[in-house]
Structure 1
Amino acid sequence: MLPWKPPWKHIARALSVLLLTAAATLVPGAAAQADDAPSRGWNDYTCKPSAAHPRPVVLVHGTFGNSVDNWLGLAPYLVNRGYCVFSLDYGQLPGVPFFNGLGPIDASAAQLDAYVDKVLAATGAAEADLVGHSQGGMMPRYYLKFLGGADKVNALVGIAPDNHGTTLSGLTQLLPYFPGAQDLLTSATPGLADQIAGSAFMTKLNAGGDTVPGVRYTVIATKYDEVVTPYQSGWLSGPNVSNVLLQDRCALDLSEHVAIGTVDRIVFHEVNNALDPAHATPTTCASVFS
């Protein structure tokens, strides 16, 4: 039997998340309460896009997330920089409150379709920009590809998206060894089953190419992702695609799957660059203070 070794790498990453959370809390405007969101312009349907930021930004939460908790850091960050920011809930299951993104992903994409129409009607804008975390960075691609979203969207920014599915660190590869497990997963939480690498949903989504014409795509990934595995499965191929590894911007950043989309201000800076490339500034470790 091999001697036990302390999981130092996992401990270091956990500490990194705590430190980033503290930084996000201490920097003004990095955190907001749900009741505070409308007064700050987040989900404020009276907000009109400016000449500097002519498109509303729609934030798309990840699996088990919701329209508030996933965006307590990024939404105020963008509002404070002059964007009209909105967020939706999708993929709800009957009898499961608070935790969303569990329903069939094609149905979730239809919810996004209706929500974008609502935002465009309220703001008077012709197009929106989408920013999504995890499933929220991948699911909009179905909307763009199959539901006519390409005519209404300028850019999609995916933060740790599972664009080609995930093995969940190999755990999903064990499903065939447990009779009935795959069927149970599909019936109980189809949104999870759809995200397994090689699923029928993933095969359909990526058949014929990753992208559609007329949309700019940005993927921001972390090599410490323990949910989207391997992390390279998030990369996209095609024109107008920018794949960004967080550690290429800041080698000291140990953010994993949750932190990269919720509290990491280095990532927030990169998102802002993707939304406004004409005024982009270098993203570095110092971006946590910007």
Structure 2
Amino acid sequence: MAALAAAGLLAAGGQPAAAAASYPVEYHFGAGFVKGFFTPDRPPAGANDWSCRPGADHPAPVVLVHGTLENMNDNWGGAAPLLANAGYCVYAFGYGGAAGSPVQGTGPIADSAQDLAAFVDRVLAATGAPEADLVGHSQGGGLMARYYLKNLGGAAKVRKLVGIAPNNSGTTLDGITELGRQLHILEPANELLDDSCTACVEQEVGSPFLAALDAGGQTVPGVDYTVIATRFDEVVTPYTNAFLPAGPHVTNLTVQDQCPLDATDHLEIGYDPIALTDVLNALDPAHPRPIPCQVVLPVTGPLL
């Protein structure tokens, strides 16, 4: 079924058939994580071909932005090859961690946004494109990308932001942060956590970082936003915190509204067949792909 889903993703719309590349696409988070975790500085298959030039069908290069505690290789083993096979120029990078560390995305979000800004500039200079599209998971599709768009001039350089389980309104961590506040232990715990994962503290509901970022609104003019969420998200809680306020340039999607058989969680959603189809459709709405519906388990992915 996974093979059939892959074939459906690539064949529909007539666009991907013209692509020269043919990379294997991973739809299982567990397998993709194992393959990529220990080589964090290696781009995922299909990414970072600096000789790639966007064609008329896909004029904007795609920049993949990984999430907290992840890296570009273990996060994008599904999306990078899929997008490359579909004819996109695809790029990925690491941020918020020491070079060579498999665990990244932990540094201050404002600093990580600076890294994103520099990388987008590099991609635009290499490809000659005036704008890029961003596809991000968790922090990379939520607070960090939004900080770049709002505060670092990113809105002038980005057409679309596609967030996969983004943390747009922060997280309660399944209620742990609220319990900590009631017990008056959240602040001491945050002081300890801040040394190892500043971004984790900044993503909490009610954080000063989140309040400052949301002041004046969560979106900026000139950018189209797509949010892809799952009801079984155990990291961004409640899962509706992924969504952005409704508007003409905002599309909020839930995986289970498209297929009740799909029980993807926060980790698997970066590899999920439906979420990846939603990414393709958000980037190229003129050529929509059919949504595959199959049993998908948390973490481990498609059943067959």
TM more than 0.5: yes
Deviation at 1:91, TM superposition (A): 0.7
1:90-239 alignment, distance < 5 Å: 90-93=95-98, 97-138=101-142, 139-176=144-181, 177=183, 178=185, 180-237=188-245, 238-239=247-248
Aligned to 1:247: 256
Secondary structure of the structure 2 residue equivalent to 1:103? coil
1:2-17 alignment, distance < 5 Å: none
How high is the sequence identity, in percent, across the aligned residues?
A: 54
Superposition CA RMSD, Å: 2.7
Deviation at 1:41, TM superposition (A): 4.0
Deviation at 1:172, TM superposition (A): 2.0
Equivalent residue for 2:24, pick from 20, 25, 29? 29
- Aligned amino acid, residue 103 of structure 2: F
- Aligned amino acid, residue 151 of structure 1: A
Aligned to 1:16: none
Secondary structure of the structure 2 residue equivalent to 1:143? helix
Structure 2's unaligned 5+ residue stretches are: 10-22, 27-31, 297-301
TM-score, structure 1 normalization: 0.84
TM-score, structure 2 normalization: 0.81
What CA distance in whole angstroms lies between the structure 2 residues aligned with 1:245 and 1:239?
18
Aligned to 2:68: 63
Aligned length: 265
Structure 1's unaligned 5+ residue stretches are: 1-18
Aligned to 1:9: none
Deviation at 1:174, TM superposition (A): 3.4
- Aligned amino acid, residue 247 of structure 1: Q
Would the aligned equivalents of 1:134 and 1:161 in 2 still touch at CA under 8 Å? yes
Deviations along 1:51-99, whole A, 9 cap, x unmatched?
A: 11111000000111111110011110111000000001011158x8210
Would the aligned equivalents of 1:20 and 1:264 in 2 still touch at CA under 8 Å? no
Deviation at 1:39, TM superposition (A): 10
- Aligned amino acid, residue 220 of structure 2: V
From the two aligned structures, give the one with the greater helix fraction.
Answer: 1
Would the aligned equivalents of 2:44 and 2:76 in 1 still touch at CA under 8 Å? no
Compare 107-116 and 176-185 and name the one that shifted more: 176-185
Secondary structure of the structure 2 residue equivalent to 1:92? coil
